[in-house]
Amino acid sequence: MVKLLECLNTLFGTVSLYEVLGLEKNASAHEIRKAYYKVSLQVHPDRVSEEEDKVIATKKFQAISQVYCILSNEEKRALYDESGEVDDESGILEENRDWDSYWRMLFKKVTIADIEKFKGEYRFSDAEKNDVITAYVQCEGNMDLMLEMIPCSIVEDDIRFKQIVDEKIKNGEVVQYEAFEKENSKSRNKRRKLAKAEEEEAKKLASEQVPSNDKSELQAMILKRQKDRQGEMDAFYDQLAAKYGKSSKTKKQAERRKRK
C-alpha cells in the first residue's frame, strides 16, 4: 500500500494535509469541505486530455480525496493533529477505491440553473469588484486576460471593469499599468469583433450536433465551447467552490490560455 504522506510529498511537495488543501490547521469542517471541492476540481482527471497528464491528475485526485476522508473525520483528524501521522492501515486509504463516485456523492452536479443563479448573484456584486481588482493586478492591466479570469464576464463588461479600476487608481489603491493605460476604443472594438466571431462559431458547432428544438442541450453545448475557448467555466467553478475566495489563477496561467 502506498503511504499517503509519501504520496503527498511526491505530488504536492508537502506532507501537510492542510497545506495540500490550502488550509490553516484551525480550519472548520465547512472550510475543509469547501477547500476539498475546490482543489479536487482543479486536479480532476476529466480536466486533462493527454494520457500522461491524466495519470498524474488521477493520482492527485485520489490523494486529495484521501486527505479529505481524514480531515472530515473527527477522530482521524485529532490523531493526525496530535501525532502528524495518518493511519494507513485504517481501510480508508484504498488506492483502488472509486473516488470519483465518492466525490459525486458528496457534491451535486452543477447544472445550467446553478450557473445562471450564480451569475445573477455574482455580477455587479462586491465579490465581483474584488475579483476585478485581483485580476487587474495579476494581469498587470491587460483587459483581455482580465476578462478571461473574471467569472461570468462578457466582452461588454470591459468598460464597467475599467471604471472600477480607474476609481481604485484615482484613490491610490492600485498602480496604473501601461497595458491598462493604453486600453482604448480600438482595443475594445477588436475585442468585440473577436468575441462575435467566437460566439457565431460556438452556435454553429452546437447547432450541428444537437436538434434545434432542444434548447437546453444547445445552451449546454455553447457553454462547453466557451469553456474550451476562454476558460471561464474553470474560473466559475473555483469561485463557486471558494465562495468568492482568492482566485487561484495567475497571470502566467491566463497568458498560457490566451496563447492556445
Looking at residue 104, its pLDDT comes to 66
pLDDT value at position 52? Answer: 78
Domains and CATH numbers, the chain: 4-106 (1.10.287.110), 112-259 (no CATH)
Residue carrying the nine cell digits 467553478: 237
Is residue 150 within 8 A of residue 190, CB to CB? The reply is: no
**What is the pLDDT, as a whole number, of residue 102?**
65
| pLDDT score for 238 | 54
Tell me whether residue 24 is exposed, middle or buried, using C-beta atoms within 10 angstroms of its C-beta: 0 to 12, 13 to 18, 19 or more. exposed
> What pLDDT is attached to residue 10?
92
Using CA atoms, how far residue 231 sits from 47, 105, 144, 194, in Å, is 11, 26, 12, 16
For residue 133, the model assigns a pLDDT of: 95
Give the cell for residue 255: 497568458
Supply the pLDDT for residue 95.
55
Q: Residue 257 has what pLDDT? A: 46
Q: Cα–Cα distances in Å, from 181 out to 102, 156, 212?
A: 49, 18, 44
- Give, for all 260 residues of the chain, the pLDDT tens digit: 458 888 899 999 999 999 999 999 999 998 998 888 888 878 888 777 777 788 888 889 888 988 998 999 898 899 899 998 886 654 445 556 666 676 666 666 666 677 788 888 889 999 999 999 999 999 999 999 999 888 888 999 999 999 999 999 999 999 999 999 999 999 999 999 988 887 777 667 656 554 444 445 445 554 555 445 444 445 555 555 544 333 344 444 444 444 44
Which pLDDT score, from 0 to 100, does residue 162 have? 95
